[in-house]
Structures are given as C-alpha cells and as structure tokens.
Amino acid sequence: MRRSTIQSAMLALVMLAALGAAPPASPTPAASNGSPAPAASAAPATPSLPAQTGLNWHETPEQLTASCDAAIAQARAALAKILAIQPTAATFTTLAAIENASANFNDATAVQSGLYLLSPDAAVRKASQGCSQKVTDFTVEMSSDPRIYAVAQHVAQVGDAPAPAGAKLDEYYVIGGKRAGAGLDDATRKKTTQLFERIADLERDFALQLAGDQTTITVSASEAKSLTPDFLATLKKSGSSYLVPVNESTYEQYMLSESSSAARKRFVTAYNMRGGLKNVERLQQAVAARDELAHLLGYSSWAAYQLDAKMAKTPERVETLLTTISTKLLPKADSEVAALGSFKNSEGSPGPIQRWDYAYWENKLVEKKYAVNDRLVREYFPVDHVIASVFTIYQTLLGVTFAQIPQADAWAPGVTEYSITDTASGKPIGWFYLDLYPRPGKYNHFANFPIRPGRVLPDGTYQKPVSAIVGNWPVAAPGKPALLSHEDVIVFFHEFGHLMHSTLSIAPYETLYGTAVRPDFVEAPSQMLENFMWQPSILKMVSSNYKTGEPLPDDLIQKMIALKHVDDGYQWSTQAFYAQYDMTIHSSGPNINVNSTWFDLQKKMTPFSGIPGTYPEAGFDHLMGGYDAGYYGYLWSR
C-alpha cells in the first residue's frame, strides 16, 4: 500500500495513493492493444449502479484549482465550528463530527489532488500538483492540531466511544495525533509540520519525475534481429535503427529476446538511471528530513518511527527476518547464477554471466530444459480473455457481479468503468475503473488506486466506494490482440485482489475503511490470491489461444508449474536486498549516502554487483510512495 507520510487517522486519503504496487524484483511488463476491456461474458444480468459515480474528472485547470481551494476553506470552517467547544466538553459525537469533516474533505479533493499522476492533459496535471501540495499541507495541519488530539484523548478518558468501531476510531485519532506531533510544544510542532510538508513535496516531485521519464535507447538493425516482430512493430524508428522505450512495460519483452549482450547492458544501464540525479538528491533529502523528524517525535530513527505502528514493531525484528532470508537464500541464488553461467558457456557464449545476461539466458534455459517458450505461452493470454476470466473468478469467489458502463466517465480515453453489485440481492456496492495502458505523464507502475472510500454518511446511507487499477501494458502489434505473460496475469490478479479488498470492505468510518490494516499485513491477501494463478483448472480458465481459442494444454501447464520455484533464490534474495536497503538508509542517520549504500548492499546480498555510474535508487518509487521503512512488508506478509 502506498501511504502518505503521516500515519494518522486524518490521513485516510490525502490523495489518490496507490495501493499494493507489485515489488520490483523484476519489472512488471505486460502488453495491450489499447482497446477497451470487456465486461465478463459470464456475468449474469442483474441491476447495475447508475453510470455516474458523482466524481468530476473533467474540470479545467482553473476549475480544479478553485474547487480544491473551496474544499480546503469549507473543511477549515467546519472544523473551526466543531472545535469551538472546550475539549473537556467533547463527546464521541464531537469526534465523529471531526471524522465526517475530514472524510468530506478527502472525498472532495481526491480527484483534484490525484490527477497529476493520471491526466493526459499537462495543464491539468500541473494544477493537480498544486492542489496535491495544498491538500497535503492542510492534512498535516489537521493531523497535528492539538485541539483534535485533545478531543480524542478526552473521549478515550471518558470511554464513551461505542465499541468496536467507535473505540477503534478514537484509538486511531489518539495514536495518529501523537505520531503527527499534536502533543508537542508549539515551537517543536512547527518544525515537525514543516518537515512533514517538506517530505511530502519531495515524494510528489520524485513521482512526477518518474511519470515524465521518456528514456529510450537506440538499437541497431542488426541488434534488433532477435526481437520479436510484434515488439518491433510497436517501436519508432530512427533511420534503420529502432528506439526502444526504457520502462517497466518494455523490460521483459526486450530483455528476454535481445541476443546482444552489449545491447542488453545499454538497456539495463539506462533503466537504472531513470529518475536521474534529481531523484537521487530528492531521496537523499527525504532520508535526512525523515531522520530529523523521527528524532523530534521521540524516536531513534525513521525506521523506529515507522515500525512502531506496524506488526513488526521494531527495526531489530525486521533485521532478523531479512538476515535469516538472505543467509538461507543467497547460497541458492549463487548456485542458480553459477548454473546459468555454465549453461551460457555450453551454448557457445563464453565468459562470466552478468546481471544484464540473467533474464535472457534464464529464458533460454527454460526453453531448452523445461520446453516452455515465453512467446508461445503469451499466445494463450490475450488481454481481453484474461480480464474477462479474472472477472469471472472474482465474481464467483466473492458473490459479486461486474457490469461495464457503456460510456465510461473517466479521466482519459481508453479507461473503462464498471459497476459492482451483490449477485444474490442485486444491491449496488460500488464502481471501479481500469486504466491499463501507458501514456505520457502517467503513473508508470501497476497498482490499485482507492479513489473514494465507503462510509456511513450523516443521513445513514452508505457511500459507495470507487477504486481503479492503474497499469502500463504496452501497445500490441497492429492487427493482433495484446498478449500477456503468465507473470503479467499474476500481477493483474494480485492488484484486483487489492481492489476487492478495498471496495468490498464495509466500515462506518472512512478512517477504518478498506485496507486500513497494519501496513505490513496489507499485501497478505493479494499474495495469497496469487496462488490461484498456479492452479491447473484456473490456468485453463484464464487461457485461450488467440488463434484457436484452445486453453493451455495440460502438458504445458505442468511444465509452467514446475518453473514456479526455479529461481526463488535469486528473486527473493533480491527482494531481501531491496528491503535491507530501505531499512539501512532509514536507520543510519541523516548523512548516509543513498547511492553508495545501494552498491555496497547489492554486492553483499545478491549474486551481482551494480553497474558503476548508475543510480537505481532514483527509480525505486516505493521508497518515496509510502513504503519507506516498509518494503519488508512484501516478505513479512508472505
């Protein structure tokens, strides 16, 4: 889950914070023809929700700024009226009114403050960026407000919060207020407020830098001979050469088929320089600001601050987990790489295996030893069938029905919109969007975005939630359907699990809604659900050869399943390295060098050293998107 900087009750949704982005052990590529995704063909006919979610995606930059400012002014006036009483006169009704004002504010600004990562219009993105900064600043102000903190403390003391939801809500406000600095003296609280705002600004700019990254490499005609015709058909040309975009959506397609080691090295080098030196500096500054903030709040490090609100509780416990995993898996990883190097040499390619060789030669080994061809497997996963089948699985599993809204009301062309109803009763539940294709300026990973939470409104009705899956499946070759890898299908199923977790949750208060669980638990449901994509019967269901319509044959399914753990040592030791890097830079004081630390730990914890002169940390968006001192959660929850 991507959480905002302040872990408090007031920050249920500061902006469109992405949920459950897949871990980047290997980038998350996929493919698409850019066509609208269909509704599940197996869905029974039941009443659907109205086509309108009530969200306005079409404001001009000027309108967006005005509505953002108006929402802040309205929230400030509402809170001033509620907080006019003395804290000792407060009751749970007072706290519930604060929660309602906060939720109204979050709902009123969710679109405006989130479009900077979604809108195809640069002017709208710029206006949204300004709104996001204002929303963050006001949320910091609310979170650290000593009057709200005093109300929550008094409610806790008198014990009039109704159990269990009211008591839990009050607990969130007490703990959140303390963690936001609401209990500090005025001078110290002013410093913590400034630091919270500074960190949020750095995180936002880090994300924008990556969203705007348009890095490409030039591949000669001879180097391009090994690339698939479908992939080549999507590329722009410069003379006889090809321009290959360097991003997550192209990573796997390029690295699995490019036969030139030198060309692969150029791609990986460029990939590890996305975000640039500006993002290195932003991360460096964020680490220092987080450390200073943690000390002002009474913690020894940012890791200690973050872990105090999680299941793991202490950095020492996480360090023990990561050391155990690394100690047990690194020998296996070394053995896997050595075996792959031997295979490479046996195939007439002498010399040691390098990091940029790994994916290519592992693919060759899989083809020869296991008789599994990635290109052939992709033919069984056309995107439209995969989406419809995933819908069918979740509808059957959870007793819900999805219906596509004929004309989506969304933020960009190609985004599709769906209603969710309870299958048994036909009662409406909510909506979701799919935005699966890349475009300039868009969020460049794959994640679930909770947009509007569900909650009980003051009139007693239940607000229907809205979520979106935002991804980057690359455009398919003209005249062919988009074809996905098995890994692409797993990632989509994982993210849809997050969407169901957030959308089907029912809670009376926005702060308690959906994925408001311990951050190091939030990945557990979706990681559990991934196992469906390894079941033979499910693989039959989600596959349909785009030429013949036939599902995956039984023998190919068994071969695919046999590959499930083929490189676990390498993949999970790499994940342990990512998590250890995160913990190290957030436990070692303000002056730790974020670049040299990456290279030191990578050499120590993985089979490969880094590429000199690169800065992979500049593209590690988890560390600036809510997973700071929290990336270990992928391993913890598994």
Q: Which residues contact 469 (CB under 8 A, 6 or more apart)?
A: 432, 433, 434, 435, 436, 446, 447, 448, 449, 492, 495, 496, 499
- Looking at the fold, whether 148 and 229 belong to one and the same domain comes out as no
Tens-digit pLDDT profile for residues 249-282? 899 999 999 999 999 999 999 999 999 999 999 9
Q: Note whether residue 537 is domain-resident.
A: no
- pTM for this prediction: 0.89
Tens-digit pLDDT profile for residues 114-146? 999 999 999 999 999 999 999 999 999 999 999
The DSSP secondary structure of 559-593, one letter per residue, reads HHHHTTTTTHHHHHHHHHHHHHHHHHHTTS-TT--
Per DSSP, 450 falls in state E
**pLDDT number for residue 40:** 34
**pLDDT number for residue 142:** 97
Q: Note whether residue 633 is domain-resident.
A: no
- Looking at the fold, whether 190 and 241 belong to one and the same domain comes out as no
Above 80 in pLDDT, residue 586?
yes
- Looking at the fold, whether 194 and 234 belong to one and the same domain comes out as no
Tens-digit pLDDT profile for residues 452-478? 999 999 999 999 999 999 999 877 788
Contact 435, 143 (CB under 8 A): no
How far from 23 is each of 220, 327, 582, 631, CA to CA, in Å?
32, 21, 13, 8
Above 60 in pLDDT, residue 14?
no
Q: How far apart are CA 574 and CA 85, in angstroms?
A: 54
What is the CATH number for 130? Answer: 1.20.1050.40
**pLDDT number for residue 437:** 86
Number of residues written out for the chain? 638
Instruction: Point out which residues pair with 434 in neighbouring strands.
Output: 416, 469
Above 90 in pLDDT, residue 32?
no
489 pLDDT tier (thresholds 50, 70, 90): very high
* For range 515-534, the mean pLDDT: 91
For tokens 């609280």, the residue is 189
- Looking at the fold, whether 247 and 183 belong to one and the same domain comes out as no
Last residue of a domain, one of 559, 589, 615: 559
Q: Of 235 and 25, which is predicted with more confidence?
A: 235
28 pLDDT tier (thresholds 50, 70, 90): very low
Q: Residue 142's closest CA among 71, 88, 65?
A: 71
495 exposure class (CB count in 10 Å sphere: 0-12, 13-18, 19+): buried
Last residue of a domain, one of 174, 194, 210: 210
Q: Show the tokens assigned to 5.
A: 């900087």
Q: Note whether residue 590 is domain-resident.
A: no
Q: How far apart are CA 300 and CA 615, in angstroms?
A: 28
187 exposure class (CB count in 10 Å sphere: 0-12, 13-18, 19+): exposed
How far from 363 is each of 171, 259, 354, 366, 368, CA to CA, in Å?
51, 11, 15, 5, 9
Contact 110, 15 (CB under 8 A): yes
- Looking at the fold, whether 183 and 251 belong to one and the same domain comes out as no
What is the CATH number for 390? Answer: 3.40.390.10
Above 80 in pLDDT, residue 46?
no
- Looking at the fold, whether 218 and 96 belong to one and the same domain comes out as no
- Looking at the fold, whether 169 and 187 belong to one and the same domain comes out as yes
Q: How far apart are CA 461 and CA 457, in angstroms?
A: 5
Q: Note whether residue 233 is domain-resident.
A: yes
Helical pair 594-605 and 276-296, crossing angle rounded to 10 deg: 90
The DSSP secondary structure of 91-159, one letter per residue, reads -HHHHHHHHHHHHHHHHHHHHHHHGGGT-S-HHHHHHHHHHHHHHHHHHHHHHT-HHHHHHHHHHHHHT
Q: How far apart are CA 436 and CA 446, in angstroms?
A: 8
**pLDDT number for residue 51:** 53
- Looking at the fold, whether 45 and 94 belong to one and the same domain comes out as no
* For range 501-522, the mean pLDDT: 91
Contact 451, 17 (CB under 8 A): no
The Cα angle at residue 73 between residues 70 and 76, in degrees rounded to 5? 150
Q: How far apart are CA 143 and CA 132, in angstroms?
A: 16
Above 70 in pLDDT, residue 43?
no
**pLDDT number for residue 19:** 37
- Looking at the fold, whether 31 and 109 belong to one and the same domain comes out as no
Percent of the chain with pLDDT over 70: 92
Q: Note whether residue 412 is domain-resident.
A: yes
Q: How far apart are CA 363 and CA 204, in angstroms?
A: 37
Helical pair 92-114 and 61-82, crossing angle rounded to 10 deg: 170
* Structural domain containing residue 43: 13-54+380-519+545-559
**pLDDT number for residue 239:** 96
* For range 164-186, the mean pLDDT: 97
Q: Note whether residue 108 is domain-resident.
A: yes
Helices (H) and strands (E) in the chain, counts: 22, 10
**pLDDT number for residue 30:** 30
Q: Which residues contact 204 (CB under 8 A, 6 or more apart)?
A: 116, 129, 132, 133, 136
* For range 53-76, the mean pLDDT: 97
512 exposure class (CB count in 10 Å sphere: 0-12, 13-18, 19+): buried
Tens-digit pLDDT profile for residues 604-614? 999 999 999 99
Above 50 in pLDDT, residue 22?
no
Q: How far apart are CA 419 and CA 491, in angstroms?
A: 22
Tens-digit pLDDT profile for residues 552-563? 999 999 999 999
- Looking at the fold, whether 388 and 472 belong to one and the same domain comes out as yes
Q: Which residues contact 110 (CB under 8 A, 6 or more apart)?
A: 13, 15, 16, 55, 451, 452
**pLDDT number for residue 50:** 46
* For range 154-170, the mean pLDDT: 96
Tens-digit pLDDT profile for residues 329-374? 999 999 999 999 999 999 999 999 999 999 999 999 999 999 999 9
First CA to last CA across the chain, in angstroms? Answer: 15
Above 50 in pLDDT, residue 39?
no
Q: Note whether residue 87 is domain-resident.
A: yes
Q: Note whether residue 529 is domain-resident.
A: no
Above 60 in pLDDT, residue 394?
yes
- Looking at the fold, whether 412 and 437 belong to one and the same domain comes out as yes
- Overall domain count for the chain: 3
Q: Of 187 and 37, which is predicted with more confidence?
A: 187
**pLDDT number for residue 515:** 83
**Average pLDDT, rounded, for the chain:** 91
* Nearest-10 Cα torsion for 422, 424, 427, 431: 20
Q: H or E element: which one contains 79?
A: helix 61-82
Above 60 in pLDDT, residue 24?
no
Last residue of a domain, one of 511, 531, 559: 559
49 pLDDT tier (thresholds 50, 70, 90): very low
Above 50 in pLDDT, residue 23?
no
Contact 247, 215 (CB under 8 A): yes
**pLDDT number for residue 475:** 76
- Looking at the fold, whether 240 and 107 belong to one and the same domain comes out as no
Contact 448, 1 (CB under 8 A): no
